[in-house]
């Protein structure tokens, strides 16, 4: 009996430990209704950590025990970004997920699909074109899914060759964007497609910081 009681107390202690976090939390009354997946805008780092501990289904690859807070987040006011260690599978592509915080509150999520490529002239033109075709096919498939979900975009932008974007305003208070961006690096070109979910109110505060 004593042994069973000890085992039970041990499991209870583990459960309580699993339900705790050392990261700052925000009163749920201050969270927004909008968000990304099961995360709500305005959640603190600790709230996000606790939510991702129970991630399942589509978000199962993002399940974690501790939020990987590193140099991306200022320890002074908890403003910055956190890159999750797991990868989200979208359209056959493993994507990085970046969480963006302002004064300790979640306000944006970026889903990155990277398509590495070398600088012009480093690859044969047909090989380079094949890589761009793969990027554009993936981008277009995701854009179609977003159109089906949110309707016609409220804004579009297309600068041939390196930048392309669609945006939707989604209630309550969320903006959704998909964009292609080519960042020039010393060793070549970093090609990415980014799907971004943003709390419009908190983003305005971030721009005023």
Residue 11 resides in a domain = no
Residue 10 resides in a domain = no
Residue 101 and residue 202: Cα distance in Å, rounded? Answer: 9
Q: How many domains does the chain have?
A: 1
Residue 120 resides in a domain = yes
Render the burial of 148-160: b for 16+ CB within 10 Å, e for the rest: eeeeebeeeeeee
Per-residue pLDDT of the chain (209 residues; tens, 9 = 90+): 444 334 343 433 333 444 688 889 999 999 999 999 999 999 999 999 999 999 988 899 999 988 887 656 675 678 888 999 999 999 999 999 999 999 899 999 999 998 876 555 566 677 777 878 888 999 999 999 999 999 999 999 987 766 799 999 998 899 999 999 877 655 556 788 999 999 998 888 777 76
Q: Are 131 and 114 in contact (CB under 8 A)?
A: no
Residue 158 resides in a domain = yes
Residue 163 resides in a domain = yes
Which domain, by its residues, includes 109?
Answer: 24-208
155-159 vs 88-90, strand pairing mode: unpaired
Render the burial of 119-143: b for 16+ CB within 10 Å, e for the rest: eeeeeeeeebeebeeebeebbeebb
Residue 6 resides in a domain = no
Residue 156 and residue 170: Cα distance in Å, rounded? Answer: 16
Q: Are 155 and 135 in contact (CB under 8 A)?
A: no
């Amino acid at each position: 009996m004593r042994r069973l009681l000890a085992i039970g107390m041990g499991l209870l202690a583990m459960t309580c430990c699993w339900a705790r976090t050392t990261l700052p939390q925000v009163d749920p009354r201050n969270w927004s209704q909008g968000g990304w997946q099961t995360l709500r805008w305005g959640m603190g780092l600790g709230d996000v950590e606790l939510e991702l501990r129970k991630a399942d289904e589509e978000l199962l690859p993002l399940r974690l025990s501790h939020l990987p807070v590193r140099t991306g987040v200022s320890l002074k006011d908890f403003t910055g970004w956190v890159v999750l260690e797991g990868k989200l599978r979208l359209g056959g592509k493993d994507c990085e997920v970046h969480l963006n915080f302002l004064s300790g509150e979640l306000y944006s999520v970026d889903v990155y699909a990277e398509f590495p490529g070398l600088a012009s002239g480093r690859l044969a033109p047909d090989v380079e074109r094949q890589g761009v075709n793969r990027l554009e096919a993936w981008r277009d498939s995701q854009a179609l899914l977003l159109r089906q979900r949110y309707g016609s975009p409220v804004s579009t932008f297309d600068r041939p060759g390196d930048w392309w974007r669609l945006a939707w305003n989604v209630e309550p208070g969320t903006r959704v964007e998909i964009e292609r961006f080519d960042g020039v690096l010393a060793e070549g070109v970093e090609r990415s497609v980014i799907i971004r979910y943003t709390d419009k109110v908190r983003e305005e505060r971030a721009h005023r910081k």
